[in-house]
Amino acid sequence: MKKKIPVILSVDTGVDDAVAILMSLASKNLEIKLIVCGHGNASLEHFENNTIGVLELASAPQIPVILGTLPSEKRQTQIHNAHGTNGLSGVILETGNRKFSMRPAENEIFRIAQETENLHFINLGPSTTLASTITKFPEIKNKLKKIIFMGGSIEERLDTQKPYSEYNVASDPESAEIIFKSGIDILMVPTEIGRKAFLDYFDIFKTKTTNHTGEVLEKIYRNYKHRALKFGVATCDSATIFSIDCPEIFHIQPVHGFVKYFDNIGTGVCLFDFENTPNMNVVTDVDIKKFKKHYFKLLSKLP
């Protein structure tokens, strides 16, 4: 029997994070060791219930959920308009008797890294917590097998003056820089992949009629808006999970990824240079048909 890949999920539990957690739980290839919640798609008062509620929805085993590191006050931005009032389009999930742990995130991540072989860190939100852990425990660089990072844009020109400020990097570019320079094996999954493999209205109807989890997801999808996608539901975070769960459906290339700062937007963005010496890999394409097949396969395994 194939051994599962142990993963730590770092999330800012909005709509796409919730789906990604569910896909991870349903996967036969992944074992979630820890979920770290940070700032982003929901306020602090909501992401705890969102994350624990997703676990309860899936009847998941008791998986520790902890508060991640918050960025500087300058970088504490949120995007309520994309994910609704509470990050899940206003849908309130039952949490059962699950509890939120207040253990220090960096210490817990490092402890798990010391105890776990082949540990993968999947970053689905701002990268503040991971960067803080690397800074506090630099020896973790030798413990993490790979970082899978949802972020950046492969369509952005290197000479752009009006960049697309993809949120996960732009919300804390300093932390992204620390990770890019860490020397850890990195796979970037840019925003275009989730937009290309979007769920259309037929997919959403099929989701609703699959099972109870699908019924809840359809409600959550109703008010989810991606600024670069006019119709349908973007799957950016699920694509990031699938890039490790079923990498054969993606095209992956070596690339030089870096953060460039722009005064006109007051932050930095991730750019990809395919001509320079590679320091990471990036997903450049996805087989949409196989992607959706895998999505519904995993969805069918949930309650």
Residue 32: C-alpha distances to residues 152, 162, 206 (Å):
25, 38, 27
pLDDT at 164 over 80: no
Q: Which amino acid is at 141?
A: K
Domain 5-299: what homologous superfamily?
Answer: Ribonucleoside hydrolase-like (3.90.245.10)
pLDDT band (50, 70, 90) for residue 84: low
Predicted pLDDT of residue 160: 84
Give residue limits of the domains in the chain. 5-299
pLDDT at 46 over 90: no
Phi-psi sector, 286: left (phi>0), alpha (psi -120 to 50), beta: beta
Predicted pLDDT of residue 225: 64
What is the C-alpha separation between 179 and 182, in angstroms, rounded?
A: 5
Phi-psi sector, 90: left (phi>0), alpha (psi -120 to 50), beta: left
pLDDT band (50, 70, 90) for residue 47: confident
Residue 143 sits at φ, ψ, to 5 deg, of: -105, -30
Predicted pLDDT of residue 1: 63
In the β-sheet with 144-150, what is the strand arrangement from edge to edge? 65-67, 30-37, 5-11, 119-123, 144-150, 186-189, 280-286, 250-262, 267-273
Instruction: State the chain's mean pLDDT as an integer.
Output: 90
pLDDT band (50, 70, 90) for residue 81: low
Which residues have a Cβ under 8 Å from the Cβ of 199 and sit 6 or more positions away? 207, 221, 232, 233, 235, 292, 295
Please give the radius of gyration of the chain, using alpha carbons only, rounded to the nearest integer. 18
Q: What is the pLDDT of residues 211-252, one digit of tens each?
A: 999 999 999 988 766 555 567 889 999 999 999 999 999 999
Q: Are 284 and 154 in contact (CB under 8 A)?
A: yes
Predicted pLDDT of residue 95: 83
Predicted pLDDT of residue 226: 57
pLDDT at 140 over 70: yes
Q: What is the pLDDT of residues 16-33, one digit of tens each?
A: 999 999 999 999 999 999
User: How many CB atoms within 10 Å of residue 101?
Assistant: 13
**Tokens coding 18:** 């919730």
Task: Please indicate whether residue 83 or residue 205 has the higher confidence score (pLDDT).
Answer: 205
Quickly tell me which residue has 């730590």 as its tokens: 8
Residue 17: C-alpha distances to residues 100, 124, 179, 260 (Å):
17, 7, 21, 26
Mean pLDDT across 118-146: 96
pLDDT at 83 over 60: no
